[in-house]
Amino acid sequence: MNLQNPKKFRMLVSQAQEVALNVLRPISRKYDKAEHAYPKELDMLASLVDGMNEGGEGMNAGAAGAGKRGESKQSESNHEGVRNGTNMSTALSIIEMCYGDTGLLLSMPRQGLGNSAIAAVANDEQLERFKNTWAAMAITEPSCGSDSAAIRTTATKDGDHYILNGEKIFVTSGDRADSVVVWATLDRKVGRAAIKSFVVEKGTAGMKVERLEHKLGIKASDTAVISFTDCRVPAENLLGNAEVDVAKGFAGVMETFDNTRPLVAAMAVGCAKASLERIKQIFKDQLDDSYSTPYLQTSNLAAQIYRMEAEWESARLLTLKATWMADNKMPNSKEASIAKAKAGRIGNDITLKCVELAASLGYGEDELLEKWARDSKILDIFEGTQQIQQLIIARRELGKSSSELK
Q: Does residue 211 share a domain with residue 159?
A: yes
Range of lowest pLDDT (77-81, 204-208, 317-321, 331-335): 77-81
Instruction: Calculate the average pLDDT of the chain.
Output: 90
Q: Which domain holds residue 77?
A: 7-129
**The pLDDT of residue 53 is above 70:** no
Q: How far apart, in whole angstroms, are the C-alpha atoms of residue 170 and residue 141?
A: 8
Taking residues 73-100, what's their average pLDDT?
Answer: 77
Range of lowest pLDDT (64-68, 214-218, 228-232, 364-368): 64-68
Q: Does residue 188 share a domain with residue 119?
A: no
Q: Is 374 left (phi over 0), alpha (psi -120 to 50) or beta?
A: alpha
pLDDT computed for residue 339 by the predictor: 98
Q: How far apart, in whole angstroms, are the C-alpha atoms of residue 141 and residue 143?
A: 5
| Inside any domain, residue 258 | yes
Rg value, the chain, Cα: 21
| Inside any domain, residue 242 | no
Taking residues 269-289, what's their average pLDDT?
Answer: 97
Active site residues: 383
Packed helices 86-100 and 251-282: angle between N→C axes, nearest 10 degrees: 40
| φ and ψ at residue 325, rounded to 5 degrees | -65, -40
Nearest to 24 by CA among 62, 59, 56, 60: 62
The number of folded domains in the chain is 3
Q: Which band of pLDDT confidence, cut at 50, 70 and 90, is reported for residue 66?
A: low
Alpha-helical segments (H) within 192-331: 251-282, 300-327
Query: pTM of the entire structure?
Result: 0.92
Q: What is the CATH number of the domain that holds 72?
A: 1.10.540.10
Q: How far apart, in whole angstroms, are the C-alpha atoms of residue 217 and residue 134?
A: 22
| Inside any domain, residue 340 | yes
Q: Which band of pLDDT confidence, cut at 50, 70 and 90, is reported for residue 79?
A: very low
Residue 223's SS3 state is strand
